[in-house]
Amino acid sequence: MILYCATTNAHKLREFQHAADELAPGLFQIGAMPGLRDIPVAPETGDTFEANAIEKALYYSRLT
């Protein structure tokens, strides 16, 4: 199963792949969300890292 992340940062993608392999070895492949470079950047208006992460997850999930 492929899980797409809203990042093109190779280091972050490797970190996500490592975490996925720790939780469920061989079950998930991590990749950058197709067409991400053509999508406007998500706003970050939250007061915390968590709030911004939720905001970005909702924003990008609407585009998949």
8 Å CB contact between 56 and 6: yes
Contacts of 60 (CB under 8 A, 6+ apart): 6, 33, 39, 42
Looking at residue 64, what is its pLDDT? 79
Looking at residue 4, what is its pLDDT? 94
pLDDT in tens, 4-57: 999 999 999 999 999 999 999 999 999 999 999 999 999 999 999 999 999 999
